[in-house]
Amino acid sequence: MSKLIIITLSILSFLFLSLSSLAAAAGGSWQLLQKSIGIAAMHMQLLNNDRVVIFDRTDFGRSQLPLPGGKCRNDPQDTALKVDCTAHSAEYDVVSNTFRALTVQTDVWCSSGSVMADGTLIQTGGFNDGERRVRLFKPCGDQSCDWQEINLGLLAKRWYATNHILPNGRQIIIGGRRQFNYEFYPKEPAKRLYSLPFLSETNDKGIENNLYPFVFLIPDGNLFVFANNRAILLNYVSNRVVKTYPQIPGGDPRSYPSSGSAVLLPLKNIQARNVEAEVLVCGGAPKGSYAQAAREKFVEALKTCARIKITDPNPNWVVENMPRARVMGDMTLLPNGNVLIINGAGSGTAGWESATNPVLNPVLYRPENKAGSRFEVQNPTTIPRLYHSSAVLLRDGRVLVGGSNPHVGYEFTGVVFPTELRLEAFSPEYLEAKFGNVRPRIVLPASHSKVKYSQKVVVQFRVGGNVAQNLVSVTLVSPALTTHSFSMNQRLLVLPTGQFTSLGKNTYQVEVTMPGNMSNLPRVHI
């Protein structure tokens, strides 16, 4: 399998070269990687050493992954066990397909995070004793690295918040339950909270529907913030709303617990003075679904996707129907610019035992196709992935899929949807054997190369047959922390291409220019 190349800018990124001929058909395949990793993959983050940090919550009770060396976690505030000798976090090694237990001390349930410039995962908030914690995980080459925790690292309690890395290297942390504000990490010298009334305005009483807001940094440096059924453009430096967007057609909620999903579509022409940016929001649950689910009535999920060009002077949503209704789906940007919609249910909402009718078939969304021909149903998994499931893009082009635990604790028998500990991978069709002869294999630059902003880089690759220059594209992808149907900090850039050369013997090279706009990718240093 051809490896994608990591380019180290300020965050972990992929360099991916594709040929448009690989996008001709649909299908994909599934591979079971682990029969059990011992915990439910509620949160996942790929690191720059081809390892994935996975965690669920500390108060699920005993997991099936023991802590090494007889180690135990002592937590008098834990609502399940005061002394727990099992793990609730794991590190998965993609290359060796192995995993090991990690020790997290406080409750990371429904938390958030993002990778920093040096590759460190900064993970924030959670429940109970974890609500104001900051946790650091620094990648290392051996098995010595583990979680480090900072008590009172946050100014406010953060549960169901969203993080995004910023051009100055800090992270912004937005919202959470009963938190209508945002803050930064590392903390500013002033150590202050910033009020965001928009989060209060989008709060449905008794249900909320504004948690885990969809947040995207756009090329002009502002933040697109979507909660419930509407969005704003936020200048976080001046704490000012610079644009208010129209309500999504139909007015149904898309944020947790109604749990649709969203992506910032690939950014192209990134050297232009004004770069266009589009957001796609798919699925969710109709109004009233959460209350109905509490009475064990599971309303059919939303079938609609809404797309908006957020940089237009007068933007409007354009609505299309997915092949099937879906709530709690995960939207993953594939390196060829397509969007994979995976996991989720056909009825209900997020929450304990609040959904049914699992959707086993992923769907591919091709943003460059004309309306009416953008969706393609992919081959199904056999594993239902409902509440507390996740999916992340790997460097080799596969999508790692795990999780699903719609219960208060670990439940394996006597329930319709048992706690799911299996880990699997979905391989999009571009990885299938029939495309082996035309799939590019990158020769240079070497994996983990370092580049600078605006630098011109020569990408050398091999591919069978002749290649037309206009069919070659190179993309740069930032991997995300994925949880609760949203991938924080997910981003894909189509790099400008220059001179294209045939070197003979099925070897070619193309010159690309790294991004120079600091809002396209965050700065190298804080």
Residue 86 contacts by C-beta under 8 Å, 6 or more apart in sequence? 38, 62, 63, 64, 65, 66, 67
Q: How far apart are CA 173 and CA 157, in angstroms?
A: 11
- Half-sphere exposure of residue 53, counting CA atoms within 13 Å on the CB side? 30
129 burial class (0-12, 13-18, 19+ CB within 10 angstroms)?
A: middle
pLDDT exceeds 60 at position 4: no
- Mapping DSSP to helix (H, G, I), strand (E, B) and coil, where does residue 497 land? strand
- pLDDT tens for 476-497 read 999 999 999 999 999 999 999 9
CB neighbours of residue 461 within 10 Å: 23
Q: What does the pLDDT average to over 378-389?
A: 98
**Cα 129 from chain centroid?**
25
CB 52 within 8 A of CB 488: no
**Cα 258 from chain centroid?**
17
146-150-74 Cα angle (round to 5): 65
Confidence of residue 438 (pLDDT cuts 50, 70, 90): confident
Q: Please give the share of the chain, as a percent, with pLDDT higher than 90.
A: 80
Closest by Cα among 84, 120, 216, 208 to 162 = 216
- φ, ψ of residue 482 to 5 degrees: the values are -110, 130
**Total number of residues shown for the chain:** 526
For residue 526, the model assigns a pLDDT of 24
Lowest mean pLDDT among 59-63, 75-79, 242-246, 300-304: 75-79
Q: CA dist 263 to 203, 473, 486, Å?
A: 22, 20, 8
Place of tokens 């005061």: 82
Confidence of residue 46 (pLDDT cuts 50, 70, 90): very high
CB 275 within 8 A of CB 251: no
Confidence of residue 23 (pLDDT cuts 50, 70, 90): very low
pLDDT exceeds 60 at position 111: yes
Beta bridge partners of 15: 5, 476
Q: How far apart are CA 133 and CA 159, in angstroms?
A: 11
For residue 10, the model assigns a pLDDT of 32
pLDDT exceeds 60 at position 521: no
- pLDDT tens for 49-91 read 999 999 999 999 999 999 998 899 988 888 889 999 999 999 9
* Mean pLDDT of the chain, nearest integer: 91
Q: How far apart are CA 432 and CA 440, in angstroms?
A: 13
Q: How far apart are CA 329 and CA 362, in angstroms?
A: 9
Q: What does the pLDDT average to over 300-327?
A: 97
Q: What is the pTM of this model?
A: 0.93
